[in-house]
Structure 1
Amino acid sequence: MTIEEQPQQFNNTRKADFKSIYNQSDPRAYFEALTPLQYQIPQLALPFVNRILQHISSSAPSASPCRIISTNDGAVTTANKVKVLDVGSSYGINAALLRHDIDMDGLAAHYASTPKLSSREQIEADERFFTRRRSRRGQGSENKVEVIGLDVAPEAISYSLQTGLHAAGFTDNLEIHDPSPDLRNALRDVKLVVCTGGVGYVGASTFSRIAAAARASPSSPSELWMVTFVLRVFSFDEVAEGLRTEFGLVTEKVEGRVFRQRRFSSREEQRAAVEDVRRKGLDERGLEGDEWFWAECWVTRPGSWRGEVGELAEGL
C-alpha cells in the first residue's frame, strides 16, 4: 500500500485519491492508475533490497529453518529460506520483482493485456504467468527468499496468496494492536523488513511491533535489517529513534541519493508537497519542484554490526 491510502497523513499535501485501487481482487486498476504517473519506486528499491539480502546470506552459511503459514491449509515446511516481510505489500509487487524475472514495465504490460478477463480468470492467468518466470535465485540455491505480505487491504493480500507471490499474508493493523498469534509466528526468523511506500500510513508503532515479534526472545538483541523508502514529505526520525531505544537497531540514511516515486497528478498536489518539504528545511529545486515525488532510502541494521551502510550501497 502506498500513502495515497491515507492522504490526511500528509502535513499539508492533499494527494490524489487512489483509495479505490488498493483493495480490488486483482491489480489491473492499480497499474492503470499509476503507470501513467510513472510509478517506479519498487523497481528503484530492488537493488538495495538485493544487496542487503546478499549480505544477510553471506553472513550466515544457511538461513534458519522456518515455519511457513500456508496460504491454504496451514502446512509446515522446514526449507532453508531468508524470510522477508513486506510492509504495505499491496498486491505483492515487491515480491514479484524480488523473486521473478520481471520488472515494473513488464508487470504493467501484462496487466494491461488482459482487460476482458474476469477477476477469477485474471488470478488464474497471473498464477501461470509468475510460475513460468523462474526465481531470480534459481530453484537450487541454498538460500531462497520467502516474502510475507502485510497490508490492511484484504483483497490485495488474497490476490498475492492466490498467485503465489506471498508465502503468507496478513491484514493486521499494527498501528492499533499487537500482531495476531499467526502473524507473530510468521515473523519469527524474519531477517529483512522492506517498506517501499508505507511510511505516512504506518509509523513507529508498526515497526516496533514487528521488531519485537521478530527477535528470538524479549531479552535477546535484535538482528533485524530493514530497507525503508520514505518520501521526503515525511520524517522517519520517530521510527528510527524507537528502533534504537527499544531494540538497539541503528538506522542510517543512504547519503547523496534520492529516488523518484511517481509524478504528481495535479498542480495542487505538487504545490502542497513543495510546501511540506520546505517546512522540513529541504530544497525542492530539481526534485519536488520538477513534478515528482522523491524518496530517500533508510537502512536499519543490528547495533552489533560494524560495517558501513555506505559501503553496502556502493555502486548501486
Structure 2
Amino acid sequence: MTIEEQEPENFNNAHKADFKSIYNQPDPRAYFATLTPLGYQIPQRALPVIDRVLALSSVTHDATTTSDNVEPGVIKILDVCCSYGINAALLRHDLDLDGLAAHYASTPKLSAAEQTAADRRFFASRRRRPGVEVLGLDSAPGAVSYAVETGLLTAGFAEDLEVSEPSPALRAALREVSVVVCTGGVGYVSATTFARAAACVRDAGRRLWVVSFVLRVFPFEGVAALLAEEHGLVTERVEGAVFRQRRFVSGEERRAAVEDVGRRGLDGTGLEADGWFWAECWVTRPRGAEARMEDVLGSVGVLRV
C-alpha cells in the first residue's frame, strides 16, 4: 500500500501522472522515451551523494560482520524500487543518464530479446567499478528481469515488501547488504518495506546505511521514526540541498504538488511552483557512526542541483 493510499487525507495529488505502463516492460526504451522529455534526472543528481555515503559506510563498517559470501573490499547495495537497474548502471559503469537515454533511443527497431542481448554487451564494455555490487528490489518482474539479464544487478527480486515478508532468497541476500538506496520510490513504498529490509541486515549483524531521495510531496519522518524505534538507526535530512526529479506533465499536477508540499508546511515558491518535482535527501546511519551532513554533500553542497 502506498503512502498516498495509507494517508489519503494528506495528499491532493490525484493528478500526479500515472506511468505504470512503462514500469514493467521487457526493456527500458519506453521508460526513457516517456521520461526523458520531462527532464527526468534524479538518478544522476543523486549519484555524488550516494558515492559519499558509500565512502562513509566503508569507514564505519565492522569487518568482523562480513559474510563469507562477500569478497573483501566489495560493497553490496540494495536498490529499493530499482526498476530497470538505472542506479546500478550509473554506479558501476562509465555512463551518465544522458548517455543512457541516447543509447536506448538509438535502437528503436530491435526486438526486446535483441535489445537485452545488445545491452548486455554494452554494459559489459563500460564496467568500471568491480567493488560495488547492486541487488535490486522492485514489484515489476519485467524490469527486474531485464536488469539481471543485462548484468546491471548481481541479483534481483520481484517482491512487494509492503504486503509480504522477504522471501528466503531475498532474506539471505539482504544479510550481505551494507547500504540501501532509494531514489524516488517513497510514495510507492512506505516504512514497512524499509523496516523489513533493515531487519534482515540487522539479523546478520551488519551496520546499515540508507540514503533516500524523497519527493517533497511525501513525508519521510514515519520511516525515520520506525527505523529508529525498531533498529536503532539515526536518520537526518541533508539540509541546504534539494534535487530536481522531473517536470510536471500538466498544470493540474503542478497545482496538486504545490498544495501537497504546503500541507507539509513547506513553501513551493521557486521549486514546485516553477514546474518541477523536487526531492530531499535523507541519510540513515548506525547509531554511533559519525557523519556530518555537510560531509555527505561534499562538493554538492548547494541549494539546488
Letter of the structure 2 residue corresponding to residue 149 of structure 1: G
**1:209 corresponds to:** 196
Structure 2 contact 211–282 (Cα < 8 Å) conserved:
yes
Give the structure with the larger helix fraction: 2
Structure 1 contact 90–151 (Cα < 8 Å) conserved:
yes
Letter of the structure 2 residue corresponding to residue 188 of structure 1: R
Structure 2 contact 76–134 (Cα < 8 Å) conserved:
yes
**CA 1:66/1:276 → structure 2, altered by over 3 Å: closer, same or farther?**
farther
| Pairs within 5 Å for 1:118-133 | 118-133=111-126
Question: Following the alignment from structure 1 to structure 2, what is the Cα–Cα distance between the partners of residues 11 and 106?
Answer: 35
**2:237 corresponds to:** 253
**CA 1:279/1:9 → structure 2, altered by over 3 Å: closer, same or farther?**
closer
Find out whether 1:175 has 2:158 as its counterpart. no
Q: Deviations over 1:59-101 (max 9, x none)?
A: 459693453xxxxxxxxx7565211000000000000000000
Secondary structure of 2:210's match? strand
Find out whether 1:278 has 2:265 as its counterpart. no
| Pairs within 5 Å for 1:107-186 | 107-135=100-128, 137=129, 139=130, 144-186=131-173
Find out whether 1:265 has 2:249 as its counterpart. yes
Q: 2:186 aligns with which of 199, 220, 223?
A: 199
**CA 1:61/1:235 → structure 2, altered by over 3 Å: closer, same or farther?**
closer
Secondary structure of 2:178's match? strand
Letter of the structure 1 residue corresponding to residue 114 of structure 2: E
Residue segments in structure 1 that go unaligned for 5+ positions in a row: 68-76
Letter of the structure 2 residue corresponding to residue 19 of structure 1: K
Find out whether 1:88 has 2:81 as its counterpart. yes
**2:303 corresponds to:** none
**CA 1:213/1:61 → structure 2, altered by over 3 Å: closer, same or farther?**
closer
Letter of the structure 2 residue corresponding to residue 310 of structure 1: E
**1:12 corresponds to:** 12
Q: How much has 1:252 moved relative to structure 2?
A: 0.2
Q: Deviations over 1:116-164 (max 9, x none)?
A: 00000000010011011031x3x5xxxx111000000000000001000
Find out whether 1:106 has 2:99 as its counterpart. yes
**CA 1:10/1:270 → structure 2, altered by over 3 Å: closer, same or farther?**
farther
Q: How much has 1:307 moved relative to structure 2?
A: 3.3
Find out whether 1:30 has 2:14 as its counterpart. no
Residue segments in structure 2 that go unaligned for 5+ positions in a row: 301-305
Q: How much has 1:56 moved relative to structure 2?
A: 2.2
The TM-score normalised by the length of structure 1 is 0.88
Secondary structure of 1:293's match? strand
Q: How much has 1:177 moved relative to structure 2?
A: 1.2
Q: 1:64 aligns with which of 63, 66, 77?
A: 66
Structure 2 contact 10–263 (Cα < 8 Å) conserved:
no
**1:232 corresponds to:** 216
Letter of the structure 2 residue corresponding to residue 248 of structure 1: G
Question: Following the alignment from structure 1 to structure 2, what is the Cα–Cα distance between the partners of residues 158 and 210?
Answer: 20
Q: How many residues align?
A: 295
Question: Following the alignment from structure 1 to structure 2, what is the Cα–Cα distance between the partners of residues 125 and 66?
Answer: 34
**CA 1:265/1:10 → structure 2, altered by over 3 Å: closer, same or farther?**
farther
Question: Following the alignment from structure 2 to structure 1, what is the Cα–Cα distance between the partners of residues 30 and 9?
Answer: 23
**1:52 corresponds to:** 53
Structure 2 contact 136–156 (Cα < 8 Å) conserved:
yes
Letter of the structure 2 residue corresponding to residue 90 of structure 1: S
Letter of the structure 2 residue corresponding to residue 166 of structure 1: L
Q: How much has 1:108 moved relative to structure 2?
A: 0.2
Question: Following the alignment from structure 2 to structure 1, what is the Cα–Cα distance between the partners of residues 24 and 294?
Answer: 37
Identity among equivalent pairs (%):
61
**CA 1:313/1:277 → structure 2, altered by over 3 Å: closer, same or farther?**
same
Question: Following the alignment from structure 2 to structure 1, what is the Cα–Cα distance between the partners of residues 125 and 275?
Answer: 37
